[in-house]
Amino acid sequence: MKINKYFLCGLVFAGVGLLASCSDELETQPTNSVSGTQVFENAEHAEAAINGAYRFLYTAGWSSGWGTQNCGQTAIQLFADLMAEDHLMHEQGQGWFYEDYRLNVHGDYAGKAGRSYSVWNFYYTIISNLNYILANDGKLEGDPDLVNSLMGQAYAFRAYCYFYLIQLYQQTYAGHENAPGVPLYTEPTVAGTEGKPRGTVQGVYDRINSDLAEAVGRLKGLKQSHISHIDYYVAKGFQARAFLVQHKYKEAAEAAKEALTKPRLSLVKVDALGGNNSVKVDDVMWGLEISKDQTSGYAGFFSHMDADAKGMYGSKARQCISSGLYNLLSDTDERKMKWFRGKLEKEEKGNSMVSYCQLKFKMADYTIWTGDYLLMRAEEMVLIKAEAECHLKEFDLARTTIKQLGTLRDTNYEAILAKRTDSETYDANTNAPVTTLMEEILLQRRVELWGEAGRIFDLQRLALGYDRKYEGSNHSETVQTKNTGVASPLFIFPLPQSEIDGNEHISSSDNNPIVR
């Protein structure tokens, strides 16, 4: 591959801490026009580059069109939720995210406006920036702790990007270790750099594991300078996520346990979470604090989610919980009462007064359209730890762990938990009544992380499919003509045609199945 422009645009902007959209249509100077003595002459200057890479996470415009639905990391988490069965759109509205919900995005792989291209562009642009930072490991002058912090963050951040890429462009790890992965770049890339082949899923996870091991070693004992920065505990959280997908349950439980030792971190009650729009809540481990001058307006997560934000997309295409998941929750569960509306006798247009509408995510300030983006919370680590312990058949430990969260959400939780049988098994029907301990833990994960973790990823790693058409279903699209069984090709994306055209080591025959 002769590296496309999306590999070039990142450092030019990140080096000065200012980011714009990075599509092939954006004209930029070659990366090497940014002097190494300018950006990487010392650790303090290099810090601007890592800050710029973080800002990519909430920057919109990663495609030639449909820019407002390509608004960074939270957009990816949103469409990955909508691709599954727990999250729905009450109506189509202006169309943003609706094709994801319909499992109808494969046909866009040939252009630069759809998911295949925008996601690929997004993560590889960030990786390109991070590789320039990591190329200066051992060369930066300045405070050794700052140098270690920058390098540790860059290693962890790169692993984070590859973790999403491999889940979005190939089936899950277990059972697909030798399947084609995604190209791995660990060195700086410039115009004319030879492209890499797809390699294997195992090879990608080997890189993820290696990068995260390096990151936790570099970051241990160092203070998190801002909540938007990856620290030791966030890197341990990344490990917990990656180990869970790899079915390395002992390691996942240990990593999650360590992540929860972060100073001043605590689980919180529903009321303290508010609209899940503030990084200042005690359960937030990693998040993006969005100031007034950084709000992306229409091209932002809350504009799509919050039905009460007047004039925003969410008021015309309301995001709802599935009735199937809602009905599995206890009536004493605070999330059922405060995060989602129930069945309404009379529905209204243009706001959240519609059955099962989400109330979990609300703008912090409607006058300036702001709200912080939460990327890791303590509750997720509890859920990972409990699930991993249950997989290991350490049922007493798993019960104790999940009770920490459950009793904060439901006044009757101990009685509910007592009814669950000790078993690591779970029903293939995701709307079936909950009977086992594993099903209880997975239910808690589904509702606690609704809208923020990407349900399709859990379905993949748990070898599950789904059916949206059931008695009482409120899905506006039941996708009965689509394959929603285990490891459906619709659960992942084709590689973008631009990659196939530009990479001499990847041909059309190397692409994932394309379902039109």
pLDDT at 298 (0 to 100): 75
Cα first-last separation, the chain: 27
When the pLDDT of each residue in the chain is averaged and rounded to a whole number, the result is 91
Q: For residues 451 and 44, which has the higher predicted lDDT (pLDDT)?
A: 451
Average pLDDT in the 184-208 region?
94
Judged against a pLDDT cut of 70, whether residue 165 lies above it is answered with yes
Which class is 5-64+111-222 in CATH? mainly alpha
Q: What is the pLDDT of residue 9?
A: 39
pLDDT bracket for residue 370 (50, 70, 90): confident
Q: State the pTM of this model.
A: 0.94
- Residue 370 forms beta bridges with which residues? 365
Residue 99 has pLDDT above 90, yes or no: yes
Q: Kindly tell me if the per-residue pLDDT of 210 is higher than 50.
A: yes
DSSP E strands: which ranges in 157-212? Answer: none
How many other CB atoms are there within 10 angstroms of residue 383's CB atom?
A: 25
pLDDT-derived band of residue 31, with 50, 70 and 90 as boundaries? Answer: very low
In what helix (H) or strand (E) does residue 145 lie, and over which residues does it extend? helix 144-169
Helix axes 144-169, 232-245, angle to 10 degrees: 20
Q: How far apart are alpha carbons 121 and 112 in whole angstroms?
A: 9
pLDDT at res. 441: 99
| Residue 292 in this model has a pLDDT that exceeds 80 | no
Q: What is the mean pLDDT of residues 346-352?
A: 91
- Enumerate residues 6+ apart whose C-beta is below 8 A from 31: 7, 8, 11, 12, 128, 132, 188, 189, 190
pLDDT at 315: 94
Give the contacts of 27 (CB within 8 A, at least 6 positions apart). none
Ranges 170-184, 187-201, 288-302, 336-350: which has the least confidence: 288-302
Averaged pLDDT, 125-132: 96
Q: Are 208 and 159 in contact (CB under 8 A)?
A: yes
Q: List Cα–Cα distances, 99 to 89, 114, 326, 355, 371, in angstroms.
A: 10, 10, 23, 22, 25
Number of C-alpha atoms within 13 angstroms, CB side, residue 14? Answer: 29
Q: How confident is the model at residue 25 (pLDDT cuts 50, 70, 90)?
A: very low
Residues 171 and 179 sit within 8 Å (Cβ to Cβ): yes
What integer pLDDT is reported at residue 38 of this predicted model?
56
pLDDT at position 36 over 80: no
Dig out the tokens for 128 from the structure.
């390109």
- Where exactly are the structural domains of the chain? 5-64+111-222, 377-461
What percent of the chain clears pLDDT 70, i.e. is strictly above it?
Answer: 92
Structure-derived torsion over alpha carbons of residues 438, 440, 446, 449, reported in degrees to the nearest 10 = -100
User: Could you tell me which residue, 223 or 12, shows the higher pLDDT?
Assistant: 223
